[in-house]
Amino acid sequence: MISWKTLRTLCLVMLLLPVVHLVYLISRDTVATLNNSPDAWAAEIDAYARQDRASQLPDKPILVVGGRRVKLWPDLEELLAPRPVLMRGLGDATVDDLIHNYERLIGFYRPGSIVLLPSNSEFHLRANKDAEALVSGIVELVELNIDHQSKCHFYIISPLKTPLYPSDNTTVDKSMRLLQEWASDITHIEILDINALLKKTTGEPNPSYFRADGVNLNEHGYLRLSILLKSAIEAD
């Protein structure tokens, strides 16, 4: 018979396993984020390839690409059903990383629509971009996609204003102006401003929509983002 002390220890270990796993994933992603090579995410792309070989891929899916924010995005597949959805987030990858890995991460799936959710590392650590550099990268990604396939619809979500980095707000605003000017007369591209749904009455990012890290959305923030995207897709 198992003693109470042993049982309590086992329960504690089981409770801590998810925490240990999360710490491992964050540490692994942090190391990759600090690696400037676009091949830093090769292991994750290989994992997606193995997953794809073991399943039947949908025809013309809604493909969601980006970094950790895509990986943390819950329940989007259920919300957009019966439309097929593929979530393809890479660590804390930037748009430049997506361009480098385009064939395996985007082109391979021949998506009907593409959703781009920019990473926090566009403005920090990995890239340190200004507004012009970010928009230039997004334009390059869209044009690369046009070169490889028909003009599928592109939903570009705004870079996030976050509680942790208020200094990014000016860069985010400028990025949005540049994106909207560029996409204003392109029918298959839509710019979605999620920041308008995540702010307080004072205009600052509302911490109640973000995780404790002050950077990534929590379930309430993602719900608002999901509804914004669903409304845009249904309108089209």
**Per-residue pLDDT reduced to its tens digit, 97-119:** 999 999 999 999 999 999 999 99
Q: What angle do CA 24, 126, 42 make, to 5 degrees?
A: 60
The CA-to-CA distance between both ends of the chain, in Å, stands at: 63
**pLDDT range class, residue 38, cuts 50, 70, 90:** confident
Decide if 40 contacts 67 (C-beta within 8 A): no
Per-residue pLDDT tens for 158-203? 999 999 999 999 999 999 999 999 999 999 999 999 999 999 999 9
Mean pLDDT of the chain: 90
Domain 62-235: homologous superfamily in CATH: SGNH hydrolase (3.40.50.1110)
Amino acid 70: pLDDT: 98
**pLDDT range class, residue 151, cuts 50, 70, 90:** confident
The answer to whether residue 148 scores a pLDDT higher than 60 is yes
Give the separation between CA 168 and CA 232, rounded to whole angstroms.
26
What's this model's pTM, rounded to 2 decimal places? 0.86
Amino acid 149: pLDDT: 75
Count helices and strands in the chain by DSSP H and E runs:
9, 5
The answer to whether residue 218 scores a pLDDT higher than 80 is yes
Amino acid 150: pLDDT: 74
Q: Which of 199, 236, 194 is nearest to 73 (CA)?
A: 194
Lay out the sheet containing 113-117: strands in order across: 85-89, 62-66, 113-117, 153-157, 189-192
Tokens coding 132: 């012009």
Decide if 141 contacts 116 (C-beta within 8 A): yes
